Chains A and B, each alone.
Chain A
Amino acid sequence: MDSERLRRKIELVRPALAAAGRRFLDHPNIGRMYAEYLFVLHCIVRASVPLMRTALDLSRTLAQSDRVAAGMVPYLENHILEELHHDEWLLDDLGVIGVRQSEVLSRPPSPTVASLVGAQYYWVRHSHPVALMGYMAVLEGYPPSTHWIEALVAATGHPGEAFRTLREHAELDPGHWQELAATLDALPLTDDHRAVLGLSAIHTVRMVAQAIDELVEDGDAHPIVQRRVRES
């Protein structure tokens, strides 16, 4: 099964994500840094639907002569609808802890996030749209656990309303993984497709872990954290 094959590749590097998440949770200033964490998540999530639309457009173009691309069309059409407005949930969560929308939308995302998302545009356009499934398998196949979210709520001291996005993803993503796995297993993948899926997934793990580690390493230096320090 190709979904299982992909999951095993992700499992090889997934401890990097868990370790980065734990270092973040253990940070002494996590209450202040949560805003910065949500900013990074917003940078990633705001790109989800545009990325899928790019893959969908290309899949439709290729569909007549490419059975893998054709098989992705219904999945992407449906999944785009499921992911719409999730970036707005994050803006709402940020609003709960006093971060303005304009502050989030005007700030450029980091090179790490650009590499995470930008690599997908490259692979989708210049290799095959199926590459995006590797990215989605990581982001949706390993949602934050309820235990991790509750530990985060307790550690930050923020109101529960500031954690809506994380909670929704913890609830929705297991179903999303099953849809993705069923789609992958029905596609007539070649070894080249499997390789780009693996590259996409491994790169995604590495860049997400790096983005979280940058939060931890930069600590109080982040702009949103700095403003919150000044205002407190």
Chain B
Amino acid sequence: MNAVDEINKLAEMLADAQNRKAFVANPGETAESQGISVGDIPTEVFDTLAGMTYEELRAISMTRDVLMRALGHEVGVIL
């Protein structure tokens, strides 16, 4: 698995309100329980998401489609 795949899976996961709620309380445990390999996600990216509030994650998830589309084209910018 590469980082982009894992970030996309994380973005999918965060689109769900219950998952977001769980992620705010226990980021690593929640992500791993959904089959996401946290170790493959750049620490800076994961830690930034893990430090966000529920509302910030919701805002990120609203940008998700654009984010995922952009990730496919421009991996270097985010990683």
Contact = CB atoms under 8 A, between A and B. Distances in A.
B55 A13 contact: no
Contact of A13 (B51, B53, B63, B73): B63
Nearest to B69: A19
A199 B55 contact: yes
A13 B67 contact: yes
Contact of A12 (B45, B55, B62): B45
A209 interface: yes
**Chain A interface main SS type:** helix
The size bracket of the interface on A is 20 to 34
Interface in A181-232: 191, 195, 198-199, 202-203, 205-206, 209-210
A169 B44 CA distance: 29
A100 interface: no
A16 B66 contact: yes
Nearest to A206: B63
Interface residues of B, number: 22
Interface string A1-23: 00001001101111110111010
Interface string B61-79: 0110011011101100110
Contacts of B33: none
Contacts of B63: 13, 16, 202, 205-206, 209
Nearest to A202: B59
A14 B73 CA distance: 12
B38 interface: no
Interface of B: 44-45, 48-49, 51-53, 55-56, 59-60, 62-63, 66-67, 69-71, 73-74, 77-78
Given A9-B56, A13-B66, A19-B70, 14 more contacts: A8-B44, A11-B78, A12-B49, A15-B71, A15-B73, A16-B67, A19-B66, A19-B69, A20-B66, A22-B73, A198-B59, A202-B56, A203-B59, A206-B62
